[in-house]
Structure formats: structure tokens, C-alpha cells
Chain A
């Protein structure tokens, strides 16, 4: 039995005059013990999806099952056993680290010591500051505390809504290592992120854009499906280069990518003549290239 099943979920906001579709016929499932990433830009519908799965919102159409319980009918039992970390920092700023953690442990009818083994690795990093008020913590420490609070009752499924947004690069890396550790404890984890580079750390990812799922696959599976040649090109005048590249026959798409431009060739085209005075090399597509390609196909 999958840990999470999402079946044709649609969610719209607003009145009759202006309807915003946050989720459009979304379906997927997450296996037990899987680290599942939901990758998409801001406004793609990630938070709406998480709120529906954590029983905070009702979907307009479709249904979803979390750990064997329907999100509408059995919302009470879901609330007893899942862990949820909202995108916005949502702990009590006027309570200390220790007090926040103890509070969330008791409201889930447990104690900090009972499940300390789950949070030990994470908590030890913030333990030196345990008397500090949560409002006075740095972004990375806040996230660690929030993760501890969401974990303290040993949830069966953990929902993390953009846990790495607003966190520095080092803390982000640490955070993903922590998630790997939790996965080994057998917890199913759903994590959303706008950062494409984080996709490779998940077992499987769903690429989501404008409320629609573009593709669900393993990170390798997604990049393998790219199926076209990709070159990274660089020259002194990058803006002109982009225009030049786009006008070359056999080029499907060209877009800025870090310090290079990425050039996607049309299917079957193996090579093109690059403009003069450029440095170019063939590269492997990553998730972001795939995402851009999928987005342009659908739009």
C-alpha cells in the first residue's frame, strides 16, 4: 500500500469572477519510506497540495489517502500521525527552543525523551542554544527546530513545505543529509522545493507547474528522458550570443544558465556550427534543463 495516494485532485480559489486554479487534476502516489520531492516554482500549487494532504484544505474534486486514511473522512486520524512543517516559520517566537519542543511533544501525547533518538542528530546542533527564544534564531536554526517539532511524535509521513527556502547553502546541504537520515528510520517524506538542484537528492520527484504535474520519475529517469543534445556555450558578449544561438538552424531552444547559455538541439540533430569566438562543450542535462523543456512543451 502506498503511503500517500493522490487521485485527480483539483483545487481552485477565488470567486466566480476570478478563478485561480491552484491544482489541476493532480494524481501521483508515494511509496512507503520514499523521499519524494515536489519541485516547482513559486505559485505552482505546492503549498495547496500539502495543505490538502495534511487535511487543512478541502479539494474541489478528487480524493487523497494518507497512510491508509482518507483526507476528508478520516482527517482526525491523519492529524494524529503525520508530521507537518509549513513553509512559513510557525513556532512560538516567545518560547525558547526547549519550550517549543516540549510543547509540541505534549500536544502529541508524547515526551521529548521518548522519541529523542529520532531528533538527536538534528537537536544536538541547536541544543547549545536551547534557552534562546525561537524568534531570535537564525533561519537555519529555525528550520532545524521546526523539523524537530514536526518529528517529535514519530510521524509515519512527514510533510515538509519548502523547508530550505530562505536558508543558506551550507544549511540546505545539511538539511538534506538530515532527511536522508530520517528516511533510513523508515519515515515517508514528502518535501517541496523551488530549487531544482535539490531534486537529485530525492528518490523520485514530481515536477509541477501552474497546478499541473509535468512529470514524475526518478531524478535520473527525468534527465535520461531528455533525449536531445545539450551544449553549454560562452562568449564575451552573452546577450548577443543568445540571439545568435536562437537563430541557428537545428537549435530548438537557448536560454541563460549560470555563466553559460544552454543550447538544446532539435531531435536528431547531433551538432551545429557554433558562432565564432565562443567556448562550447556538450553537457548532460540536469533537472532544470528538463523542467524548462517540459514547461515549454506544455505551454
Chain B
């Protein structure tokens, strides 16, 4: 036991005395959560749009005013001819153009029917789609207002409720994803280099010619990182609640325990890489390319796994972050209990045992 504590203390010395390690361990997660939380969002806000108003009447003016008033759009200069539209798109000054035909007001009042053309820049199809939908909704809204007093023969009103995230905030999606990514990255990368480092420095040689048991070395290497990761989890959760306004709807204890489980999975994975790799560079490369990319791709927080081809969906199952992402989203945003996520928890637990077992098996008790 004294050996164990002494070993852990030594590991803490290594961490606290290396400024770079400290920076990666404690500052990087916070920076990442803030950057991802604020900057990386798929919400569309204040998109520039222009209007080619051929009508210049009361109705067209009201419609333009309503578009401009919405938080999604911001009116740029007006256009004067149809050619101006393509000019503006080429310059990239606008994302959406609204074309209002002549006699807009007259048509609306006398024929009960008028047309508006929406032109969008579909070089980014997602944004174009979203903008056209928003604009359509604003126009419908305007129509509802002017037909208020008239009775329409048949109408179906859809009433929409967005559960768990009524304002459709991007942060609700990103916080669980970033938590998974940051924990995996920090834990896996940092532990991946720690055992290799001892091999490179030659200290492993002395360590092997000592009564230390391999299991003790492996566990003692992981403990400091586990403790620091708990600090990270707490700071990430505090940031999400107080800075990004993402609530914790479920049990905090459950969320913490699941996060600690995931941390242990990541640490085990790092140890597995570390026992196998021959140099710090290899270990770094494997954990960055081998872990980071699949996590971003397959955890489901950037690209929905459901839309991927079947083989990729199957591959995504071996990515630990996917399961953790599902758990965090369920517990944090939906507020469900363990009964809803026990399967995912079990998968993570199995992965932990597998990685730890493999790391132990791979640990070389000799030099070659």
C-alpha cells in the first residue's frame, strides 16, 4: 500500500511540475467547452437578406418589415433588378433574396392569391434549407395576420412542442458531445504517453527490476488522471449550467458516476495504447488519430449516426464516446434515471474491463 501511495505521489509530481501537462489537463477542457459551446453552433441567426421589391406597396413593405424584425434575418440594401440577385450572391453579401412581384397588394386583396419568390444560396444546403424554412414561416405568419378576421373554409393548425429543448439551443447538443470528447481526449492522450515515457527515459528498466507488480504500476499510473478528470467533469458541468445555460435535469450523482465510468474507460484505453506503443510519438499519434477522429465521427454529436450507412453504424458501436454521449444526453437533458440507460452503462463497463485486461496482458515484464 505504501508503494502504491508513493507511486501515485510521484505521478502527481510529474503532472504538477510540467506546465504543458497541466495546461492540457486543466485548461484545455475549459477552453474547448467554451469554444464549442459558443462558436460551434448550427443555429442560423441574423442572416443577411435582400429584397427585389417590384411592388412597392403597403403589403410588400409590411412583409419586408416583418422579415427584418425576426431574429433570423437582417435586411441588406435593396436590389433593383433580377440581375442584381446573382451579383449579390456571387459577392457573398447575402444568403437569401426575396422577390416580390408587381401588384403584390392588389393580387392579395382582389385575387386572394399572391406569389413571393425565395432565392437561397444552396452552396451550403443545410443553411439554405433552414433559411428558406424560416422565411416561409415568417411569410405564413404574416398571412395569418392579414386573414385574421376572414374565415377560411378549412384550416389545420399544427401545434409544435419541442420537448427537452424548447428553444432548440445548440448547446444542448454540444455540451454532452464536448464532455465525451474532452474526457476521452485528455484521459486517453495523457495516459497513453505516461507508460511509454518511462520506457523512453529508461526508468522502466529500474522499475521492472523491483518488487513492483505490473498491475500496481498500471493502476497507480491512472489514478492521478482520474482524480484530475473528476475536477474537469465538475468544471465542465459548472460551465454548462452557469455559462451555457444547459440545465442538469437528471440526477447529478448519476451523471457524475457515469462520467467517472467513462473516464475510467478512456484511461484504460490510454493505458492499453501506452503498453503497446514503442515511443511517445506513436502513442500520441494513435490516441489523436485513432481516438479523436472516430469520436467526432461516430459519437453522434456532430453527424447523426442514424443517417450513416449500415456498416458505419455498426462500427460506431465500438466507439466508447457514442455510449457516453447517449447517457449524458439522456440524464442531463431528458432527466431520465438509470433504468433508461443501464444498457449503455453496461456496454461502457464491459469496455472498461476489456481495455484494462488487455493493457495488463500487454504489459511487458521484460524489455524485449
Contact = CB atoms under 8 A, between A and B. Distances in A.
Contacts of A56: 205, 208-209, 366-367
B366 A55 contact: yes
Interface size classification for chain A: 20 to 34
Interface string A25-67: 0000000000000000000000000010011111000000000
A108 B210 contact: yes
Interface of B is mostly: helix
A79 interface: yes
B203 interface: yes
B212 A107 contact: yes
Interface string B203-223: 101111111100000000000
Interface in B1-58: 2-3, 6-7, 10, 13-14, 17-18
A25 B202 CA distance: 28
Contacts of B18: 94
B164 to A, nearest CB: 47
A107 B13 contact: no
Interface size class of chain B, counting residues whose CB lies under 8 Å from the partner chain:
20 to 34
Contacts, number: 74
B211 A57 contact: no
B366 to A, nearest CB: 6
B25 to A, nearest CB: 16
A106 B366 contact: no
Nearest to A155: B209
Contacts of A79: 208-211
Nearest to A83: B209
B202 A89 contact: yes
A285 B365 CA distance: 45
B10 A82 contact: no
A55 B209 contact: yes
Contact of A106 (B3, B17, B367): B3
Contacts of A23: none
A94 B14 contact: yes
A203 B17 CA distance: 44
B201 interface: yes
A225 interface: no
A84 interface: yes
Contacts of B368: 57-58
Contacts of A93: 201
A157 B203 CA distance: 20
A113 interface: no
A126 to B, nearest CB: 18
Interface string B184-209: 00000000000000000111011111
Nearest to A90: B202
A233 to B, nearest CB: 45
B277 to A, nearest CB: 19
A107 B203 contact: no
A103 B6 contact: yes
B202 A88 contact: yes
A80 interface: yes
8 contacts: A55-B208, A90-B203, A92-B13, A92-B203, A94-B18, A99-B10, A99-B13, A108-B210
Interface of B: 2-3, 6-7, 10, 13-14, 17-18, 201-203, 205-212, 365-368
Given A80-B211, A108-B211, A109-B3, 13 more contacts: A55-B208, A56-B205, A57-B367, A75-B365, A79-B209, A82-B209, A86-B202, A90-B206, A102-B6, A103-B6, A107-B210, A108-B210, A109-B2
